[in-house]
């Protein structure tokens, strides 16, 4: 069949369609592969890609259909004259045809039709009976038909090729979508498995929680039972004590009567003693009760030689807040309270409610009379049923708290509140600490920074010296220590928080922040501070001391009135803006070298102004309250004290164990804060606000 379709001079001039045109390049590739060396992985990948490319090319060309072997196409009955150029179209349309179209089977089929048109033209020329004009007319018609046929064939082949390309693109998209669908199904199956596992874990946890709740309920029932037994035992014990006391009184009365009878029978006595035996008994009882008031008086007076705890328990006053060491009377009051409790716990039973204590003698400021002294009435009632002589109002006994205890706190109530209590001051500091932490997280954690930590000493000595002041006393050791903390990612943010908080505590939350309002106010504040810092002779000798008692509180009250006048003045807003802008600029100059490069100065100054404004608000609320703020930054390298400190790094180790194992302070992040309240001279108090947050080392 291929021989019949091949075109030659003897077959009528049709286009060549021999089997030689359909080459098989795959055989050549296999032969070359056998002769080459073993391919690498990259080469194999290229080979696989080329195979895919070849498959796409074969799909684009498609299968070459064969022309039907009918009499018209083969020309069995017609004798075709020879042609001189069988590979070209006789109508001049092969010149602009692309090679891929010219080599397509469809175009070759049209070539056969064109060859037959040429044959018909030649037959017209050689057939007798046709004139030249008729022959030319037929020839022109045949040429036009051939040209139209060529154009039509080219258009059809181009559309067919385009449709094949589109089909290939759609096939690729379909395969991609199918692969993505398979991956999504796999992910869904994995998520379903995870959901099942989580559901099982949740059920297990629910069962565990239910069992724990049952255990808690059983324990609560046991506790209630024990409390009831304890209460019954205390009541029974109180009755026994009361009966013993009544028996002792009766024995004393009988003994006194017997002694009087003996005296009357043996020797003559004074008439007054015969006439008033109850007076003798009262005098003897007074003699027996004399030491107790003396001990109480010595416990309330820190200057007494007997001052101190009476029990054998070890005194842990050294482990308390170092700030309270500045005020010896506060520690003395606590020790006196402990000694008083140890003495009176074995003194009187139900008769304690009949005891009328004397008013407190004047003492140094800071003594907390409400937590250690006796007082009559329902607020501080002592009796035999209490087992331990503890005041019935435990809220008066303060303790230092950590910022971790204020996780979910609503700070909105502080916005419009003018008079702050000690609890409000604590919440204000917690909110301020949170704002500083947010500022550090946004502007001082993400590297790179404006200046390398190793170059701070040379390029920014002011910032470096400020950082060194928070370290050790030895400058060389402090430089090495602080540089190590700055270069460690898990400690750097604590150093940044200490820098900002150190500046705010020492520069903004101090009375000196209100200087600069006007000349008259500055002179008044200066006089008040000089009076507070002045030293005058003491009451009990030539020793000089700062103002205490009512005199000190008068100074604090006058200072609070001046600050209140500043806040209510019309010029206060302008003064506040000046103060906030001034401290924002100073803080920005300190923090700029250690700030992230991605943070602009305008953005950083805006955040700093918000923090400084909040600190100024806290400062005004404190200094108009009539109380005084006391803060203390423990020294770096000193021992850890669990009563006034909270560790930020060794969170799994109990605080008491840290103190017993003598952990050392690596960095102090926040200070210990307390409020001194002397507004009520009969009930002086010290509010312990917050513990110091520290980093410790072993």
For 613-653, give the DSSP string. HHHHHHHHHHHTTT-EEEEE-PPTTSBP-TTTEEESS-TTS
Question: Which is more confident, 669 or 533?
Answer: 669
What is the rounded average pLDDT of the residues 472-489?
A: 91
Average pLDDT of every residue of the chain: 71
Least confident segment among 321-335, 441-455, 467-481, 621-635: 321-335
Whole-number pLDDT of residue 296: 31
The structural domains of the chain, with segments of one domain joined by +, span: 2-177, 290-396, 403-697
Confidence of residue 411 (pLDDT cuts 50, 70, 90): low
Whole-number pLDDT of residue 672: 94
390 pLDDT above the threshold of 60: no
Confidence of residue 141 (pLDDT cuts 50, 70, 90): confident
Predicted TM-score of the model (pTM): 0.46
Structure tokens that stand for 691 in this block: 């513990």
Separation CA 43–CA 307 (nearest Å): 95
What is the rounded average pLDDT of the residues 1-23?
A: 40
Separation CA 494–CA 478 (nearest Å): 16
Whole-number pLDDT of residue 68: 45
Give tens-digit pLDDT for 39-69: 556 555 555 555 555 454 455 444 444 444 4
Give tens-digit pLDDT for 203-261: 999 999 999 999 999 999 999 999 989 988 888 888 888 888 888 877 877 676 666 55
Question: Which is more confident, 443 or 49?
Answer: 443
Dihedral angle of Cα 655, 659, 665, 666, to the nearest 10 degrees: -70
Least confident segment among 70-74, 190-194, 641-645, 653-657: 70-74
Question: Which is more confident, 554 or 140?
Answer: 554
Separation CA 355–CA 375 (nearest Å): 9
Whole-number pLDDT of residue 383: 33
83 pLDDT above the threshold of 50: no
Confidence of residue 22 (pLDDT cuts 50, 70, 90): very low
What 3 state SS string does 489-510 have? HHHHHHHHHHHHHHHHHHHCCC
Give tens-digit pLDDT for 321-374: 333 333 334 434 443 444 333 333 333 333 333 333 333 333 323 323 333 333
Separation CA 100–CA 60 (nearest Å): 11
Integer CA distances (angstroms), 651 to 437, 481, 648, 655, 696, in order: 19, 22, 6, 9, 10
Separation CA 470–CA 545 (nearest Å): 30
Whole-number pLDDT of residue 332: 40
What is the rounded average pLDDT of the residues 79-84?
A: 46
Whole-number pLDDT of residue 96: 56
Contacts of 149 (CB under 8 A, 6+ apart): 110, 113, 114, 117
Least confident segment among 272-276, 565-569, 635-639: 272-276
* CB neighbourhood size of 500 (10 A): 24
Confidence of residue 506 (pLDDT cuts 50, 70, 90): very high
């Amino acid at each position: 069949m291929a021989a019949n379709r091949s075109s030659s001079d003897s077959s009528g001039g049709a286009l060549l369609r021999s089997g030689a045109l359909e080459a098989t390049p795959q055989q050549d590739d296999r032969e070359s592969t056998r002769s080459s060396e073993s391919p690498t992985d990259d080469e194999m990948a290229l080979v696989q890609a080329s195979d895919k490319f070849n498959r796409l090319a074969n799909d684009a060309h498609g299968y070459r259909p064969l022309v039907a072997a009918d009499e018209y196409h083969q020309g069995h009955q017609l004798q075709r004259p020879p042609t001189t150029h069988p590979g070209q179209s006789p109508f001049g349309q092969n010149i602009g045809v692309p090679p891929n179209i010219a080599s397509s089977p469809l175009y070759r089929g049209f070539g056969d039709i064109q060859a037959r048109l040429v044959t018909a033209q030649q037959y017209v020329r050689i057939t007798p009976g046709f004139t030249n004009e008729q022959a030319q007319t037929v020839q022109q018609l045949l040429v036009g038909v051939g040209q139209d046929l060529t154009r039509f064939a080219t258009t059809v082949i181009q559309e067919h090729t385009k449709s094949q390309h589109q089909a290939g693109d759609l096939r690729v998209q379909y395969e991609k979508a199918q692969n993505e669908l398979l991956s999504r199904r796999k992910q869904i199956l994995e998520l379903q498995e995870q959901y099942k596992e989580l559901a099982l874990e949740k059920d297990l946890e629910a069962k565990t929680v239910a069992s724990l709740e049952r255990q808690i309920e059983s324990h609560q029932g046991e506790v209630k039972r024990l409390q009831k037994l304890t209460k019954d035992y205390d009541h029974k014990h109180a009755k026994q004590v009361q009966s013993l006391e009544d028996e002792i009184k009766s024995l004393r009365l009988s003994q006194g009567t017997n002694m009087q009878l003996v005296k009357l029978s043996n020797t003559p006595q004074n008439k007054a003693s015969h006439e008033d035996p109850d007076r003798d008994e009262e005098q003897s009882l007074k003699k027996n009760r004399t030491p107790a008031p003396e001990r109480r008086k010595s416990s309330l007076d820190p200057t007494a030689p007997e001052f101190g705890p009476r029990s054998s328990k070890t005194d842990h006053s050294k482990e308390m807040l170092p700030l309270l060491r500045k005020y010896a009377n506060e520690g003395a009051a606590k020790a006196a309270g402990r000694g008083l409790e140890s003495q009176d716990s074995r003194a009187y039973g139900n008769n304690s409610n009949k005891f009328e204590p004397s008013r407190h003698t004047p003492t140094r400021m800071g003594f907390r009379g409400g937590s250690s002294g006796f007082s009559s009435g329902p607020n501080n009632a002592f009796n035999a049923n209490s087992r331990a002589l503890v005041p019935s109002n435990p809220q008066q006994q303060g303790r230092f708290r950590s910022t971790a205890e204020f996780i979910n706190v609503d700070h909105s109530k502080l916005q419009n509140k003018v008079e702050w209590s000690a609890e409000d001051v604590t919440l204000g500091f917690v909110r301020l600490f949170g704002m500083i932490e947010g500022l550090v997280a946004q502007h001082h954690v993400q590297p790179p920074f404006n200046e390398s930590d190793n170059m701070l000493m040379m390029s920014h000595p002011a910032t470096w010296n400020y950082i060194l002041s928070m370290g050790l006393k030895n400058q060389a050791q402090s430089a090495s220590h602080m540089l190590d903390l700055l270069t460690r990612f898990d400690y750097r943010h604590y150093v940044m928080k200490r820098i900002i908080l150190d500046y705010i505590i020492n520069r903004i939350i101090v009375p000196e922040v209100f200087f600069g309002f006007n000349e008259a106010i500055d002179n008044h504040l200066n006089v008040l501070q000089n009076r507070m810092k002045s030293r005058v002779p003491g009451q009990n000798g030539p020793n000089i001391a700062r103002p205490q008692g009512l005199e000190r509180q008068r100074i604090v009250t006058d200072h609070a009135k001046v600050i209140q006048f500043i806040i209510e003045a019309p010029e206060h807003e302008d003064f506040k803006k000046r103060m906030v802008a001034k401290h924002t600029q100073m803080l920005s100059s300190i923090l700029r070298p250690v700030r992230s490069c991605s943070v602009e100065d305008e953005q950083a100054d805006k955040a700093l102004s918000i923090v400084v404004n909040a600190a100024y608000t806290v400062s005004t609320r404190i200094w108009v309250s009539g109380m005084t703020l006391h803060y203390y930054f423990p020294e770096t390298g000193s021992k850890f004290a669990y009563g006034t400190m909270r560790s930020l790094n060794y969170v799994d180790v109990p605080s008491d164990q840290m103190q017993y194992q003598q952990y050392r302070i690596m960095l102090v992040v926040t200070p210990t804060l307390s409020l001194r309240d002397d507004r009520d001279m009969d009930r002086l108090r010290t509010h312990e606000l917050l513990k110091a947050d520290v980093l410790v080392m072993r």
